[in-house]
Amino acid sequence: MRDQMYGELDLGSLTIFSGSFINYGYWGDLAADRDITLAERTASQAELYRRVVSRLPTPPGVELLELGSGIGVGTALVAREFAAYVSGLDRSAAQLARAAEANADDLERLSGRLSFHEGSVTEIPFKDDSFDGVYSVEALQHVDDLAAVAREARRVLRPGGRFAAATFFAPDDTDTPVADLIETVASGVDVVRPVGAFAADLEAAGFKDVAAEPIGEHVWRQFDRWVAQTEYRDSWGRNWLRCYENGWIDYYVLTAA
Ligand SMILES: C[S@@+](CC[C@H](N)C(=O)[O-])C[C@H]1O[C@@H](n2cnc3c(N)ncnc32)[C@H](O)[C@@H]1O
């Protein structure tokens, strides 16, 4: 189902997303008296990238790896705005084909500072000590073995390198009805783990200064407002907000050194 979602289903083409990004977004203030614009929806998704990558030291020429780069417009944004060398990694050949097309200009113009690679975040196809920073935006909810992600990220980072990843987790390990409310959790496409379990995986892999910052106040209510404007207004997708408001999920940025 994960293959289908990023293959023929082309998740990024659904109206809940925009601009070839596929994330729930980091939202600023929105006017209450009018609809959210498409430009605001796209800007929220770009902003989530900035919020994640700003957790990494990014001197000019820094070498970064993105885990789960999707259609790659966020990867390109990072290469442009942070003057970085960025490699995007994704397991979906269909997403990589979309990334090649969507970012054709930047792939040419950034002269080698942007590249896309096929492979899994649990078996990263790069040598030890290849990067100064590893980051991920809304991809790790699809990975069954996050301990392997932690080990692989640690392996490809140089000494002094840093890690930052954003996605949704459960605040703790209490039983909740999330799987009854969210279809992609029921089907296993998304996994909602306790955030502390991934923090422990990072520590076990040798990371230090592991921290998990909840950013849900900048994500869920605004994303729900956007979904309510689309044809998905009566779908199970509205249950994300219910899960957040009940304390069953939150959106986090995890960082580690
Ligand atoms: C929700 S999309 C996010 C894309 C992008 N980060 C964004 O914010 O627009 C998740 C992406 O992660 C990729 N992905 C999922 N599991 C993966 C894995 N094990 N290894 C590499 N990529 C994976 C999917 O193919 C998909 O392109």
pLDDT digits (tens, 9 = 90+) for 184-243: 999 999 999 999 999 999 999 999 999 999 999 999 999 999 999 999 999 999 999 999
Average pLDDT over residues 71-78: 98
Q: Which amino acid would we find at residue 96?
A: L
Q: What is the CA radius of gyration of the chain?
A: 17
Helix (H, G, I), strand (E, B) or coil at 136: strand
- pLDDT tens digit sequence for 119-149: 999 999 999 999 999 999 999 999 999 999 9
- Domains recognised in the chain with CATH numbers: 2-256 (3.40.50.150)
**The token pair that represents 59 in the structure block:** 């001197």
Nearest-angstrom CA–CA distance, 67 and 89:
5
Question: Is 70 near ligand 1, meaning CB less than 6 Å away?
Answer: yes
Question: Is 166 near ligand 1, meaning CB less than 6 Å away?
Answer: no
Q: How far is CA 148 from CA 120, 171, 204, in A?
A: 10, 21, 11
**Ligand 1 centre distance from Cα of residue 31 (Å):** 31
- pLDDT tens digit sequence for 58-67: 998 999 999 9
pLDDT of residue 103: 98
Q: Please give the share of the chain, as a percent, with pLDDT higher than 70.
A: 100
Question: Is 170 near ligand 1, meaning CB less than 6 Å away?
Answer: no
Half-sphere exposure of 167 (CA within 13 A, CB side): 23
Best mutation site among 18, 117, 138 for ligand 1 pocket (most ligand atoms within 8 Å of CB)? 138
Q: Kindly report the average pLDDT of the chain as a whole number.
A: 97
Question: Is 140 near ligand 1, meaning CB less than 6 Å away?
Answer: no
**Ligand 1 centre distance from Cα of residue 169 (Å):** 16
Question: Is 6 near ligand 1, meaning CB less than 6 Å away?
Answer: yes
Residue 152: Cβ-neighbour burial (10 angstroms; 0-12, 13-18, 19+): buried
pLDDT of residue 1: 87
Which residue's CA is minimally distant from atom 14 of ligand 1? 68
pLDDT of residue 107: 97
User: Above 90 in pLDDT, residue 83?
Assistant: no
DSSP state letter for 20 = T
Give the strand pairing for 85-90 and 114-118. Answer: parallel
Rounded to 5 degrees, φ, ψ at 39 are: -65, -40
